């Protein structure tokens, strides 16, 4: 019996509520971890801080677009590889730790496009080894930096296609507007790859602004992610801060600016990380 069976994945009637620390025990050193959300919107920042505090190492992070949660884990020394088409702080500028790590060669970067990553996840969802993509991307340097992508001739049309290998992950971590105790989730705004990430993960952890009754969840606008794919659901008000989670939390640009300033200075960074993880631990203990 695998981990996902033991924790109740695939069961609709089991209560999947858990404390954040309990849920994140599923993340082990060297795991491939996918983060939900998009740039600075609905990111699982509280979960990232908890992983940093736990001292996880050697992680491979997967995200359609990485933001503050990805950068802080790199700065905390938790990450060996990133798979994404973008990692940054949007209007605030570059992601300092990510940029420094790639430039200095201390961080491995797997170059993705929105198409390659979404195709890879969809292939895993469909349980096929790859999905074919039009060969237009061969006009770029993508095939040079991604030797795992193979070209082949379409047996029907004779055109050149690119085989995008399926990508599974050990753990997916998402932040939801609301969820019920069975793991059904309401997600507002840009969904990015969130509904798909949950289907390709052995363990899916959802932090939610609120845990509500199923009837209230449906009244909010329905279920965008079925609890059948969720193994743990954690009530975490403000769990996306300083990124946004409409309608509960607005993007705190000032806090993101403070983060960027701290991440640019090693002395300031150690203080920022210690303070942020301490605040998280206090909030978790209070909850």
DSSP at 230: -
Per residue in 237-252, pLDDT (tens digit) is 999 999 999 999 999 9
pLDDT, residue 284, reads: 66
Q: Are 35 and 41 in contact (CB under 8 A)?
A: no
Alpha-carbon gap, residue 126 to 128, rounded angstroms: 6
The segments of the chain whose pLDDT lies below 50 read 1-7, 286
Q: How would DSSP label each residue in 82-138?
A: EEES-BB-GGG-B-HHHHHHHHHT-SEEEE--HHHHHHHHHHHHHT-SEEEEEGGGG
CATH class entry, domain 3-126+168-286? alpha beta
Alpha-carbon gap, residue 82 to 112, rounded angstroms: 10
Q: Are 30 and 58 in contact (CB under 8 A)?
A: yes
Q: Are 89 and 243 in contact (CB under 8 A)?
A: no
Q: Are 36 and 172 in contact (CB under 8 A)?
A: yes
Q: What is the largest CA-CA distance in the chain?
A: 62
- For residue 80 the two structure tokens come to 């060996």
- For residue 123 the two structure tokens come to 């292939």
Domains in the chain: boundaries: 3-126+168-286, 130-165
pLDDT, residue 139, reads: 82
pLDDT, residue 5, reads: 38
pLDDT, residue 9, reads: 64
């Amino acid at each position: 019996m695998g981990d996902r069976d033991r924790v109740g994945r695939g069961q609709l009637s089991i209560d999947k509520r858990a404390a954040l620390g309990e849920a994140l025990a599923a993340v082990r050193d060297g795991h491939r971890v996918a983060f939900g959300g998009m740039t600075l919107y609905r990111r699982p920042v509280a979960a990232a801080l908890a992983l940093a505090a736990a001292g996880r190492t050697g992680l491979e992070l997967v995200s359609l677009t990485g933001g503050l949660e990805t950068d802080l884990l790199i700065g905390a020394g938790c990450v060996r590889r990133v798979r994404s088409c973008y990692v940054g702080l949007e209007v605030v500028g570059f992601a300092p730790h990510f940029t420094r790590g790639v430039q200095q060669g201390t961080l491995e970067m797997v170059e993705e496009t929105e198409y390659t990553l979404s195709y890879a996840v969809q292939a895993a969802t469909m349980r096929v080894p790859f999905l074919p993509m039009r060969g237009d991307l061969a006009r770029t340097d993508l095939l040079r930096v991604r030797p795992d992508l193979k070209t082949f001739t379409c047996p029907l049309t004779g055109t050149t296609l690119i085989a995008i290998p399926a990508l599974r992950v050990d753990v997916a971590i998402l932040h939801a507007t609301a969820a019920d105790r069975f793991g059904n989730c309401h997600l507002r705004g840009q969904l990015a790859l969130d509904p798909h990430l949950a289907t390709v993960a052995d363990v899916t952890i959802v932090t939610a602004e609120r845990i509500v009754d199923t009837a209230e969840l449906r009244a909010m606008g329905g279920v965008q992610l079925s609890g059948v794919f969720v193994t743990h659901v954690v009530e975490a008000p403000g769990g996306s801060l300083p990124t946004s989670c409409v309608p509960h939390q607005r993007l705190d640009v000032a806090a993101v600016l403070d983060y960027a300033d701290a991440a640019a200075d090693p002395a300031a960074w150690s203080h920022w990380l210690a303070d942020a993880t301490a605040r998280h631990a206090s909030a978790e203990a209070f909850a």
